[in-house]
Structure 1
Amino acid sequence: MPELDATPVQSPADAGQVRAGEPWPAPQAPVPVTATVLVPGSKSETNRALVLAALASGPSTIVNGLDARDTVLMRDALRALGTGIDESADGWRVTPAERLTGGATIDCGLAGTVMRFVPPLALLADGAVSFDGDEQAYARPMAPLLGALRDLGADVTTSGAPDALPFVVTPVTGAAAGAGGTARIDASSSSQFVSALLLVGARLRGGLEVVHSGGSVPSLPHIAMTVAMLRERGVEVDDSQPDRWVVSEGTIAPRDVAVEPDLSNAAPFLAAAAVTGGSVTIPHWPAQTLQPGDQLRDVLAVMGAEVDLRPEGLTVTATDQLLGAELDLGGASELTPVVAALAALARDTTRISGVAHVRGHETDRLAALSTELGSLGAKVHETHDGLTVHPRLMAGGEFRTYADHRMAQAGAVLGLVVPGVVLDDVTCTAKTMPTFVSLWQQMLAESVTEVDAELAEEAETDPEVHEPPSILDGLLPVPSDESRSRP
């Protein structure tokens, strides 16, 4: 395990607040990270709950929903289609429209759930719906979903590259309006194509059959989450055959839900314990969950950490070695960047497989990780479906995030033990966790406070032990409000 630099880490005096595009010196951990971190709600669960609430037969309330750019974009998209969403301290009250309204332009940003889950809703609208997003989103795979919408009668026109953002979905009118049927797709590049169609299926006349034809579907746990949430609302879904899902026509019942913590966003905080020799607890970790991020427990255990799940939460405690491992992350590919950072700091080689599809995420994550880890000294080899990471002595330098929140999280983990790591942009974490930097700061501050308290206790019992000065001041800058709302 890398040794920690005991020198107190200070932020630059003129750093002020972190703004979009401003370099961010990733802070080193001056002591083993020992903290309890409250992680916000799951993005995957939040956006599915929002879509289902918008399609339900009555109002629903969502508590502990994630408030981040991806979920703001989803709420704005549903409002543009006529859904009522009232936000309060008690949660979000979602009131479905009698009929979804056309004529809207939906900003998808860089949110895969928005650009995939919302276009099928246009099948139920009373007019055309336009979709656009960040320029980086134009490269994300969309063709299988748009092809399925055409098979269901919609007219889909694009104004840029074929079958990519930006595009317009015009629903069929007349007697065929709102009809279901069979959608045949190749979902080998994203499980979101399947989930997107399943979410709307019960509202289509005659229901919907979704058949996958192609390579293996990645992130199957995300589809299982979609199916489970549909069933919780009284929707009949037959998934008894591989690569085939049948949703029966019927009512989607309203349901009040409390969203679980986002287990994938917990990854960098738990990784912090593993790489610094510390211990981190995530409260309210569910004993049973459909979130793919729960695989992190197995990953950390295989890499040598102690993992303890109790009713109060999940605690990960480092051991004396961080081990390399053979890891298939096909079911939880969003963990790839943080796990790759762990691998670069491990004792021996790690092979990550099953994640070819992450080349189509916010950026080509395999190429980005190979480049950025390599620039800091690790030896990384790209394979057809993953990475092989050979740890070597690492040195500081620029770590580019490619506007990808998971890349930024990976860079922050590396910075805990590698001096001089500077992220070109940390504000991209606002995509799914606007509070990332402040939570990172609190985690490190709590760790130092823990050590200060131990030293103070020793000083009381042994007069020769002197308490060192506190190192809390200026630990690292917090993003400004402007950077949190970065488009």
Structure 2
Amino acid sequence: MTGIETSPGDHTALWPAPTADGAVDATVTVPGSKSVTNRGLILAALAAEPGWLRRPLRSRDTLLMAAALRAMGVGIEETVSDGGALGSSGPSGGGEAWRVIPAGLHGPATIDVGNAGTVMRFLPPVAALADGPVHFDGDPRSHERPLHGVIDALRALGARIDDDGRGALPLTVHGGGALDGGPVRIDASSSSQFVSALLLSAPRFNQGVEVRHIGAALPSLPHIRMTVDMLRAAGARVDTPEAGGERGVWRVAPSALLGRDLVVEPDLSNAAPFLAAALVTGGRVTIPDWPEHTTQPGDELRRIFTEMGGSCELTDTGLTFTGTGRITGIDADLHEVGELTPVIAAVAALADSESVLSGIAHLRLHETDRLAALAKEINELGGEVTETEDGLRIRPRPLHGGIFHTYEDHRLATAAAVLGLAIDGVLVENVATTAKTLPDFPGLWSGMLDATTTSARRS
């Protein structure tokens, strides 16, 4: 698989964030969901027959996932549909597709996880099913991100893992070609990905798995619901007798998985900066193919941004969000949708009243410490953001230009672009890091503003 860089980009380059001349008016086609693409790749790799992923996301995280599966023996072929052999044009067909051909998983293999949580957490259980050792390493930041939940759980289920007691990367999984499975207790309060990691491979465990979360409230439950829904669609038997509360139990029975024909939804979390542009400028942005029903956390943007002063309409074409030119502060618990926090914080910094964002202490363990980074960078532009025990308090102040550091975090870069719409002179460090989940973000961003200019000239 070629055609895109899998490195995080130029760390020193500064991108002048464009300032909006007026209200935006554009249609922005957002690429496919990273979360769906990477889960779909794993389920297809573990299936009993070949399957398709249509309109997958091609980004650093998804290409790292595909490369890792190929290193363990899985076949992944690319093709482009013109609406013929691979399906009709429109949301359910056409465009790029990946054919995934399952094979006997094997080592030795070396996996580069980059700084992708889905790769570093979802693949060790897959590696435990391989015949031979699989070594995992990644970017320097990946060594600081917690993996203990997955490592400890896999050991309890019969896997052999060498990590020198770090509970983090680098590590080697000594695959034995199978895994016993069975009941396991984990604390997934630092990342819901610990649960999803075990569930995705569980149909291939000899006894399946019963995962019982024993820690504090689980973050990002929609992502676990996405995992469960995708497992069931692939033919797995999943029981969730206690899921939905602050503690959960998930049972997956051993079974064969179906080779699916999966169409990947647009990444709704990556739509956040574009919808925010409508809110910030008092304009209008349409995102085509927004699903009517979805487990993606980004769907909550409809409610959150409406509360902050906009309105939205969902039609067969997609979602159209309209801003009024006024932004209202918000008091929001973002525990289940923490990945939306950076862009929401940027919008809140431009509001006419205070915002309190809570339930997001786990963001300190993401690509960077997102709470500390947001507070520091917005404050250096003249803002007043303070960290709380589990979130941020944002008091709007007049802002000015300056360098916005991104710490190799794609969502910080998009948040900075939102601020730049209203503030002259915002320079975004390493905007190329957005390629982690959103290829050519600068091009999409400029295209949105160019479409607005063209529309204004025509009127």
TM-score bracket relative to the smaller structure? over 0.9
Answering whether residue 371 of structure 2 is matched by residue 366 of structure 1, we say yes
- Report the equivalent of 1:93: 99
Q: Deviations over 1:137-181 (max 9, x none)?
A: 11111111100111111121125x7111100111357xxx42111
- Report the equivalent of 2:62: 71
Segment of structure 1 superposing worse, 437-446 or 237-246: 237-246
- Report the equivalent of 2:273: 268
Tell me the distance in 2 between the aligned counterparts of 1:290 and 1:34: 28
Amino acid at match of 2:43: L
Answering whether residue 355 of structure 2 is matched by residue 355 of structure 1, we say no
Q: Considering only CA atoms, is the larger Rg found in Structure 1 or Structure 2?
A: 1
Q: Deviations over 1:359-390 (max 9, x none)?
A: 10000000000000111111111111111100
- Report the equivalent of 1:120: 125
Tell me the distance in 2 between the aligned counterparts of 1:136 and 1:350: 30
Residues 333 and 358 in structure 1, CA contact (< 8 A), matched pair in contact too:
yes
Q: Deviations over 1:323-374 (max 9, x none)?
A: 0011111111110000000000001001111111111000000000000011
2:395 to 390, 399, 418: 390
- Report the equivalent of 1:53: 44
What secondary structure sits across from 1:93 in the alignment? Answer: strand
Q: Deviations over 1:278-302 (max 9, x none)?
A: 1100010001011011001010011
Answering whether residue 171 of structure 2 is matched by residue 171 of structure 1, we say no
| Residues paired across the two proteins, number | 432
Tell me the distance in 2 between the aligned counterparts of 1:182 and 1:247: 10
- Report the equivalent of 2:92: none
- Report the equivalent of 2:192: 191
Shift of 1:240: 1.5
Tell me the distance in 1 between the aligned counterparts of 2:65 and 2:33: 14
- Report the equivalent of 2:240: 239
Answering whether residue 12 of structure 2 is matched by residue 21 of structure 1, we say yes
- Report the equivalent of 2:309: 304
What secondary structure sits across from 2:181 in the alignment? Answer: strand
Residues 312 and 322 in structure 2, CA contact (< 8 A), matched pair in contact too:
yes
- Report the equivalent of 2:323: 318
Residues 384 and 396 in structure 2, CA contact (< 8 A), matched pair in contact too:
yes
1:290 to 278, 290, 295: 295
- Report the equivalent of 2:409: 404
Amino acid at match of 1:167: L
- Report the equivalent of 1:181: 182
What secondary structure sits across from 1:206 in the alignment? Answer: coil
Tell me the distance in 2 between the aligned counterparts of 1:280 and 1:138: 39
Tell me the distance in 2 between the aligned counterparts of 1:31 and 1:453: 15
Amino acid at match of 1:246: R
What secondary structure sits across from 1:271 in the alignment? Answer: helix
- Report the equivalent of 1:465: none
- Report the equivalent of 1:84: 75
What secondary structure sits across from 1:351 in the alignment? Answer: strand
What secondary structure sits across from 2:449 in the alignment? Answer: helix
Tell me the distance in 1 between the aligned counterparts of 2:21 and 2:326: 19
Q: Which runs of 4+ in 1 moved over 2 A?
A: 18-21
Q: Deviations over 1:454-487 (max 9, x none)?
A: 1xxxxxxxxxxxxxxxxxxxxxxxxxxxxxxxxx
What secondary structure sits across from 1:452 in the alignment? Answer: helix
% identical aligned pairs: 54
Tell me the distance in 2 between the aligned counterparts of 1:301 and 1:445: 25
Please report the RMSD computed on the Cα atoms of aligned residues, expressed in angstroms: 1.1
1:249 to 234, 254, 257: 254
Q: Deviations over 1:395-451 (max 9, x none)?
A: 111100011000000000000111111111100001001221100010000000011
Tell me the distance in 2 between the aligned counterparts of 1:403 and 1:241: 37
Shift of 1:89: 1.2
Residues 327 and 351 in structure 1, CA contact (< 8 A), matched pair in contact too:
yes
Tell me the distance in 2 between the aligned counterparts of 1:178 and 1:154: 7
Shift of 1:229: 0.4
Residues 130 and 176 in structure 2, CA contact (< 8 A), matched pair in contact too:
no
- Report the equivalent of 2:340: 335
What secondary structure sits across from 2:335 in the alignment? Answer: coil
Residues 401 and 408 in structure 1, CA contact (< 8 A), matched pair in contact too:
yes
Residues 153 and 171 in structure 1, CA contact (< 8 A), matched pair in contact too:
no
Amino acid at match of 1:299: I
Amino acid at match of 2:23: P
1:156 to 145, 154, 161: 161
Long gaps (5+) in structure 2: 1-8, 82-96
Residues 21 and 427 in structure 1, CA contact (< 8 A), matched pair in contact too:
no
Shift of 1:313: 0.7
What secondary structure sits across from 1:72 in the alignment? Answer: helix
Amino acid at match of 2:66: R
Answering whether residue 230 of structure 2 is matched by residue 229 of structure 1, we say yes
- Report the equivalent of 1:438: 443
Residues 85 and 93 in structure 1, CA contact (< 8 A), matched pair in contact too:
yes
Amino acid at match of 2:112: D
Tell me the distance in 2 between the aligned counterparts of 1:359 and 1:316: 30
Given the two structures, how large is their TM-score scaled by the length of structure 1? 0.87
Residues 190 and 218 in structure 1, CA contact (< 8 A), matched pair in contact too:
yes
Q: Deviations over 1:198-252 (max 9, x none)?
A: 0011111121111111101100000000000011111110101241100001111
Residues 72 and 106 in structure 2, CA contact (< 8 A), matched pair in contact too:
yes
Tell me the distance in 2 between the aligned counterparts of 1:345 and 1:28: 14
